[in-house]
Every structure is written in structure tokens, then in C-alpha cells.
Amino acid sequence: MSDAKYHDRHAAGIYRAIALRFYCRYVDMRDSAEHYGADLTASHGRLPTSREVTDQYTDAIEEWLWERPASATAALALVEFAWVITADRFLGEVLRDQVIAEERDAFYQTIALSTAAEWINRLALNFRATANTSPIDVTSAGATRIQIALFLIAVTRMFVVNSAL
């Protein structure tokens, strides 16, 4: 059991969705193994249907993807969720299949990255407001870490949207 001081329901929900996505892949591969004669029921228990697992994954996403992050942990979980989708898309190419529709994945990535970007931007605005500073001129003072993070999220988001088109 983890320490309660580190609990973050939003981050936990996103990581649960990531785990369920991997579980979808596991169910698919296990189904293939059983189709070709492997008997995994003794060591791995009953195999849920692909539909059951996909519904669990979709429900987890619907519950947590739309919530604005209130912590860096939740924002990071959203970015990692987008990365997991990208990695799983490449795995699907190797395995000649995709467990989730390509258009839906691009949509989920866009939502995850945009909500994380909103959180980072809100953090930057709050920092500037409380520090009584003016925006930093990137050309004369260099980019701040937050500006770099926002730029990387914007570039990733553009790539995700363009690849879905």
C-alpha cells in the first residue's frame, strides 16, 4: 500500500487507464496464444473478452481524461498517457493489429496534452502574477523551462493532430 500523502486520484485514474490499455494488449495476445493451443487458464485465470477489457479502458478514460489536472503529478500522468498511446501504436504496427481505433487514439492524445498544457500555462501565469514579473523575452533572455515545456507540448500536439489527418 502506498503512503496516503502521495495519493492523487486524478493521476491514479490516468495510470489505471494506462494499465487497462496494456491489459487490452495482454488479452489480445493471450487470446492469440490460446487460439494456437496454449492453455493459460491454470496459471493465469479466466480470460475476459476483448470487449469487456476495452469497455473498462474506455470507462477509465471517460472518467479521468476530461478532468483538469490540479497537480504536477496529474499533468505528468496525462503526458505519459499520450506517450503510451504513441508507443502502443508502434507496437500495433509490429503485431499487425491495433487494439484501439487510430482516430480515437489521436483524439485522446490531443485531450491529454491540451489539458496538461493548460495546467502548465496556468502555473506559469500564477507564477508571474505572484512574482510580479513581466513575460520573459525569449530572444534576449533565453527560454524558461515552462516556455520550453509549453513549446514541446505544442509541437507534440501538432504532430498528433497532423498524423490523425
One-character DSSP codes across 87-155: HHHHHHHHHT--SS-HHHHHHHHHHHHHHHHHHHHHHHHHHHHHHT-PPP-HHHH---HHHHHHHHHHH
pLDDT attached to residue 140: 44
Does residue 95 surpass a pLDDT of 50? yes
pLDDT attached to residue 152: 67
* Cα end-to-end distance, the chain, whole Å: 43
Lowest mean pLDDT of 22-31, 55-64, 83-92, 130-139, name the range: 130-139
pLDDT attached to residue 56: 95
If you average pLDDT over each of 27-31, 87-91, 101-105, which comes out highest?
27-31
pLDDT attached to residue 121: 78
- In this prediction, residue 107 has a pLDDT band, given cuts at 50, 70 and 90, of confident
Percent of the chain with pLDDT over 70: 73
Does residue 96 surpass a pLDDT of 80? no
The domain segmentation of the chain, as residue ranges, is: 6-164
- In this prediction, residue 128 has a pLDDT band, given cuts at 50, 70 and 90, of low
Render pLDDT for 16-53 as a digit per residue (tens, 0 to 9). Answer: 999 999 999 889 888 888 889 988 887 888 888 889 99
Please tell me the distance from the alpha carbon of residue 158 to that of residue 114, in angstroms, as a whole number. Answer: 11
pLDDT attached to residue 138: 44
Average pLDDT across the chain, whole number: 78
